[in-house]
Structure 1
Amino acid sequence: MWGSGAVLATILVQYVTGWGSDDQAKLLNDVAYIPVTLLTAVLGWRVIRKNGLDRRERRAWILLEVSFVAQVVAHAASLAQHYLPGLPSYPALSDYVYSTAIPFVVAGLLVMPVGQRSGSERLKLGIDSLIIVAGACMALWYLEIGPLVQMPGADLEVLVFSTAVPVLDLLLVFAFITLLLRRPEIDSVIGLLSGSMALKVIADSTFTIAYVQFDTYFRPGSWPYVLWAAGAFLSLLAVHRRLQHDGLGQGVHQGRRGRLGWLPYGAVALAYGLMTFVAREQTFYPLGGMMFGAVVLTSLVIARQMYAQRENRRLAVTDPLTGLYNRALIAERLAEVTHQPPRKGRYSAVLLIDLDRFKPINDAYGHEAGDAVLRAVAAAMRAVIRSGDTAGRLGGDEFAVVLPALPSPAAAEGIAQRLVDALRTPVIFGDLVLSVEASIGVAFHDETTTDMTQLMAHADAAMYAAKRSGRGHFRVYNLELDTQARDAELRRAVENDELVVHFQPVVDLHGGDRTAVEALVRWNHPTRGLLMPGAFIDLAEETGAVIPIGEWVLRDACRQAAGWRAEHPGLDELYVSVNLSARQVVQADLVATIRDILDETGFPADRLVLELTESVVLQPDDQTVERLNTLREMGIGISVDDFGTGYAALSYLRTLPVTVLKMDRSFVTGIDTDPGTYAVAEAVVRLAQAYQLYVVAEGIETAEQARCLVEMGCTYGQGYYFARPMPGSAVLEHLVTRGSATVTP
């Protein structure tokens, strides 16, 4: 490609140096075109045969290929004329062949696929294209067509052909202007093709105008020939670029229309400028005054229309409540950001902002109070962001800020922190002082974000990570925060047996002889090592991966415990406690799943204790109560885990079939040193005894804490003082050699 371009560049060299006679220059011109046009036709054929090409686009390239082949034939015919004297010099066979190629170019450009448009949009774009063509038509009529028609004594064939050239150029203008205004999907390719056509029209018009207006003839090797050569090379570049594309490019660029929307007004200005030039020799009365008035009126109408368009545009992209931009404009800005390839030293980012504790304000004080908060948030955002940034409301209490052209990642983090601080400012609404905070996710445009959907997904993952880790701050996206990827990784961990169960003994503080253990899951990650539940359980709860994880843990714990019972008769009374997540409890097939696991492993139902979080106990629906009652009827014990860490609802302790209450470690810490803490822990124990529940104290770390619990009447406990969680083989050895006591459901 570049070799053929170098051959074509000899035309530029000839123009600069002025080398050779007219015949030599014409011969060099014809020879230089052959490699470029031939290669363009060959690559065009390869584009047509390209796999996966859209049917509409293939049809467009077939039409363009016909024009490429015609250009090869035209230049070959022109070259042959040097060796076949006596043939007509103008219009020659090559001129006719080249002219027949233009309608195929026009048709190919017009059928090239573009983004979806409504009927009204297509009508508006068609009118804009016709305005531009009408302006160009006026110019060509005055400068070319009119003088050609009036040439005295011109040969009819020469006259007809010479007049057809500007008409064909008008068709080219209509085709590539229409395509540019329609914002094609393959912008770079269409841009090169349009540039090629534009150079041809300029060269054609310059050549003809110089002849009919100024009686000047451009010899071969002059600058119009350089423009024709440049246009041919741009066509080659366009075909080569399309051949390199795997798909239809990077999508529609929303900013294109705004950059080319001035063209219809430019065409009107050209037409009036031409009319004024023609009327310059007329008297002010009557033609001059009428021309002046027409120009003023048209200018005022155009100004009014441009103002109306800007106002319509503003209304279309503005959120009426906050005055910020809306989702549509944010999407445009994100498309522009992701279309630009990442560059070192120049960063772009998006901030996704979600207000914390906004819904209670709406519920408690009404939507007017909520609207006041949203307007205050918008004002705070305007005060923080830079002039070139774009802030918008996506809907509800969710906002976004697009940050282009950042000098460093730290700049985005600084803006995010300032937003977090600004949004903590209370909002005054009447007699109320309303407080909100914001969780912000920050995502940078890099090689992994090829479109705005991925970029927003990264920001969304970072924002939810900020919410999970305490709200009221920002997080920057990294691979560890990719919820979907980590969810898939968690589910693969279940399939690949990467999870392991550790067991922690439960001790009878009064020296009983029954044994019990609590099953605790660990993740033996292939690269990060052994992970505790805190590193993945919250995410598993959020994504639903906790359901297969919970089933796996229950099956593995029952399988191991059943094996211990078979090998060691002294462990017949072994109880196993397994955590049951809130998501598992609401599964319709929960009872059937547990029954199948018990049947499969052979572990007795009356030796299994299921530990529920307070969120399940506090918000039970009828189906949940029914499932828990069914499990209890099977002999399975029901335990409330981490009691006291949520909002207590004591009535449910009697309504639900709860048998065990596990007192959270926060009640145990300090009972041996703080009388107040001791009194609270004792109250919890007495409460459980009043409901006839067994109490297990968690987090016992010292002998003095264990003594205090015995003193207040707590029977069972677990913690590092007795034993840490350990693998199955280790806990079996511990149970056999030392023994532990248990909870009796």
Structure 2
Amino acid sequence: MVSAPRRRARVRRLPSIATYAVLVLVVLVDVVASLTGHRGPALLGAMFLPVMLISVGWTVRAARHPSLDPRSRRPWRFLALAFVIHSVYGTLIGMSIQNARLTESDFDGPVVAAVVLRLVEVPVLLAGLLAFSGEPPTVWVRRKLALDVTTVVGLATMGVWYWFVGPGLFAEESLSGMSRLGIVLLPVCDTVLLLGIVTVLMRGVVTTARRPVTLLLAGLTANLAVDSLLTFEAVFRGTGRTALFTDLMTLTPLVLTTAAALEQCRLASGERRADPVPERLRPYTALPYVALALGYTLLFVVAVRAGSFPWPGLVLGAMVMTGAVAARQLVSLQENHQLAVTDLLTGLANRRLLRDHMLRAADRGRRTGRPHALLLLDLDGFKQINDTHGHDAGDAVLVAFARLLRRHTRAADTPARLGGDEFAMLLNGITDHRDAVDVAERLLTELRQGPLVPADGRVPALTTGCSIGIVLSDPQAPEDPHQLLRRADQAMYEAKRAKTQGWLVFREIPAPRSSTRDELTGSGPQDA
């Protein structure tokens, strides 16, 4: 017998399953019709119309979903309006393509209407993209973001002028005035939309539903690719694209945006578990430098094709100078990042980087089902070393202990210094608590085998022990990093209070009435 909650969950999933089934069916019908030669205007309309309606329906659902807060619904309201406009726009473009055998004057009307709708759609889409919540930026962050976005959009402007606007303005006379206007305006609209996409990618998004935003950006980027392809063929009268290729390219952005709205609704309904901790959709900070390199590459290719002797050398020199400046900036950014996320004395990760790696470990654990362990280590007798031998000796102990942690961690693990004589180790992809205990045992054994810092004439050989608190994550119910750190700290404190220079494991044991009680279990290395 299937339980009632599971039966209700299956019923809630039926609309999602039906949506994906329709999308797959449309693609299969298009493939079969193209391969068998039965593709025609009536079939095209029958295929694209339901996909457009489904996309609009799910977007409207996301914009009105009662489980979403007003701030989360706001971008989907803009997007719902934009997709309604896009459906009409796509229909008019389809009419133009289907009637391509007629004279230009016969389908100038749909072209003009499509251009007008695109001019209206793009600002609405831009407002929807910018409405996704990001961390409030400072004045300097806003300025840097504006400059980075300008760099990427500058590359797009170069490409738009070279491939679309220039040829469209100076195209052969047989191209009608209305079609010429559409060829010029549509790439400009796409450049404005690209500004919104790049802004979201560069700024990042703090959200508990990263997958819908990622799918949405992929769909809008695919839409830009489709627009560029169709405009390029309109300018150069390309005939090398098959009908099947064009159909699949046109379907791709509709499918991706539909999936984005559907995933947002499923997350809001609880069918998919959202991320437990709001996490940034990580910004793509390398985009401006990629754009700079591509822009100069395009400029160099055009200069070589021009054939005039001074231009290739001048452009190459400008590329070298700008590349050196960009590389210098990248090195500075990397250095600043390292200073911000590492401990200056030991070179280990600091608390900020450890938290970031713990969030990634929780996300990885949900996918693989394997837990990660956090070890919190506190040196015993460190204050006496500082008081007796001075802070230089204390720093030497900290550096030597950091080297010890590195020797006992894998490439996938993260050793960190949290401050003072407190350290941490994040162990990824372990089987159970015994793996973490083995690491703790090896550390304690090596600490007792000899001095941590050998004598150097100024101070005697220095030895120290440490107390270790261990906590395991639950892959099915990942916790906030602060919660894991608190529990590891509690276990470490109990180990230190026992004065065994050993380890303790923090566990949660199910208790009656669905509550939990905490248990600390462990021992010193000789008492396990």
TM-score range, shorter chain: 0.7 to 0.9
* Alignment match, 1:111: 131
* Alignment match, 1:2: 20
The CA distance in 2 between the partners of 1:187 and 1:278, in whole Å, is 40
* Alignment match, 1:222: 244
The CA distance in 1 between the partners of 2:82 and 2:113, in whole Å, is 15
Deviation at 1:76, TM superposition (A): 5.8
1:280-337 per-position Cα deviation (integer Å, ceiling 9, x unaligned): 1445742222111111111211221111111111111221122212111111111211
CA contact (8 A) 1:90 1:158 kept: no
Identity of aligned residues (%): 30
The CA distance in 1 between the partners of 2:418 and 2:478, in whole Å, is 20
1:296 aligns with 2:356: no
The CA distance in 2 between the partners of 1:13 and 1:462, in whole Å, is 61
Counterparts in 2 of 1:171 and 1:219: CA distance versus 1, 3 Å: same
1:634-662 per-position Cα deviation (integer Å, ceiling 9, x unaligned): xxxxxxxxxxxxxxxxxxxxxxxxxxxxx
* Alignment match, 2:524: none
TM-score (norm 2): 0.82
CA contact (8 A) 2:471 2:484 kept: yes
The CA distance in 2 between the partners of 1:345 and 1:310, in whole Å, is 33
Counterparts in 2 of 1:94 and 1:103: CA distance versus 1, 3 Å: same
**CA root-mean-square deviation:** 3.2
1:31-68 per-position Cα deviation (integer Å, ceiling 9, x unaligned): 22222222222222222223353443322111111012
The CA distance in 2 between the partners of 1:220 and 1:292, in whole Å, is 38
1:125 aligns with 2:125: no
Q: Secondary structure of 2:496's match?
A: helix
Tell me the amino acid that sits aligned with residue 394 of structure 1.
Answer: L
Q: Which moved more, 1:448-457 or 1:225-234?
A: 448-457
TM-score (norm 1): 0.59
1:202 aligns with 2:225: yes
* Alignment match, 2:405: 381
1:444 aligns with 2:490: no
CA contact (8 A) 1:255 1:332 kept: no
1:218-257 per-position Cα deviation (integer Å, ceiling 9, x unaligned): 7783313312201101111100111122498555556823
The CA distance in 2 between the partners of 1:163 and 1:230, in whole Å, is 24
Q: Secondary structure of 2:289's match?
A: helix
The partner residue of 2:502 within 454, 473, 494 is: 473
* Alignment match, 2:345: 321
* Alignment match, 1:58: 73
1:232 aligns with 2:254: yes
Counterparts in 2 of 1:423 and 1:125: CA distance versus 1, 3 Å: farther
Counterparts in 2 of 1:51 and 1:119: CA distance versus 1, 3 Å: farther
The CA distance in 2 between the partners of 1:344 and 1:489, in whole Å, is 27
* Alignment match, 2:46: 31
The CA distance in 2 between the partners of 1:142 and 1:470, in whole Å, is 74
Q: Which moved more, 1:29-38 or 1:306-315?
A: 29-38
Tell me the amino acid that sits aligned with residue 469 of structure 2.
Answer: G
CA contact (8 A) 1:420 1:474 kept: no
The CA distance in 2 between the partners of 1:15 and 1:307, in whole Å, is 54
1:166-181 pair list within 5 angstroms: 166-181=187-202
1:658-702 per-position Cα deviation (integer Å, ceiling 9, x unaligned): xxxxxxxxxxxxxxxxxxxxxxxxxxxxxxxxxxxxxxxxxxxxx
Q: Secondary structure of 2:428's match?
A: strand
Q: Which moved more, 1:285-294 or 1:85-94?
A: 85-94
1:19-418 pair list within 5 angstroms: 19-20=37-38, 24=40, 26-51=41-66, 53-74=68-89, 88=108, 90-91=110-111, 93=113, 96-97=116-117, 100-153=120-173, 154-184=175-205, 185=207, 186-213=209-236, 215-217=237-239, 221-246=243-268, 249-251=275-277, 253=279, 256-257=282-283, 260-282=284-306, 285-342=309-366, 346-406=370-430, 409-418=433-442
Deviation at 1:163, TM superposition (A): 1.0
- Unaligned runs of at least 5 residues, structure 2: 1-18, 521-528
Q: Secondary structure of 1:148's match?
A: helix
Deviation at 1:399, TM superposition (A): 0.9
Q: Secondary structure of 2:148's match?
A: helix
Q: Secondary structure of 1:321's match?
A: coil
CA contact (8 A) 2:95 2:110 kept: no
Q: Which moved more, 1:92-101 or 1:157-166?
A: 92-101
Deviation at 1:202, TM superposition (A): 1.2
The CA distance in 2 between the partners of 1:403 and 1:15, in whole Å, is 53
CA contact (8 A) 1:218 1:224 kept: no
Q: Secondary structure of 1:372's match?
A: helix
Counterparts in 2 of 1:18 and 1:104: CA distance versus 1, 3 Å: farther
Between Structure 1 and Structure 2, the one with more helix by share is: 2
How many residues are treated as equivalent by the alignment?
Answer: 482
Deviation at 1:428, TM superposition (A): 4.2
Q: Which moved more, 1:335-344 or 1:305-314?
A: 335-344
Deviation at 1:88, TM superposition (A): 4.5
The CA distance in 2 between the partners of 1:441 and 1:277, in whole Å, is 61
Counterparts in 2 of 1:450 and 1:245: CA distance versus 1, 3 Å: farther
